[in-house]
């Protein structure tokens, strides 16, 4: 697994693409917020 592997962050950076393994900033913030709300509701 390295530069040519499209299923790793390194491979995504090499290709210049995004996806499940290399999220765009907007999606990361949203997912982080969802996790935070989920933890708050469990407590």
Q: Which of 34, 6, 38 is nearest to 20 (CA)?
A: 6
In a domain, 16, yes or no: yes
Contact of 17 with 3, CB cutoff 8 Å: no
In the DSSP assignment, the letter for residue 6 is T
In a domain, 20, yes or no: yes
In a domain, 1, yes or no: no
Work out the angle at residue 17's Cα, subtended by the Cα atoms of residues 38 and 7, and round it to the nearest 5 degrees.
70
**Residue-range definition of the domain harbouring residue 15:** 9-42
Structurally, how many domains does the chain consist of? Answer: 1
Work out the angle at residue 39's Cα, subtended by the Cα atoms of residues 21 and 31, and round it to the nearest 5 degrees.
30
- What's the pTM value of the predicted model, to 2 decimals? 0.46
- Residue 32 C-alpha from the chain's centroid: 10
pLDDT in tens, 26-40: 766 777 788 877 778
pLDDT in tens, 9-26: 888 888 888 888 888 887
């Amino acid at each position: 697994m390295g530069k040519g592997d499209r299923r790793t962050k390194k491979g995504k950076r090499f290709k210049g693409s995004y996806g499940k393994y290399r999220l765009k900033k907007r999606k990361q913030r949203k997912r982080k917020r969802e996790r935070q709300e989920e933890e708050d509701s469990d407590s």
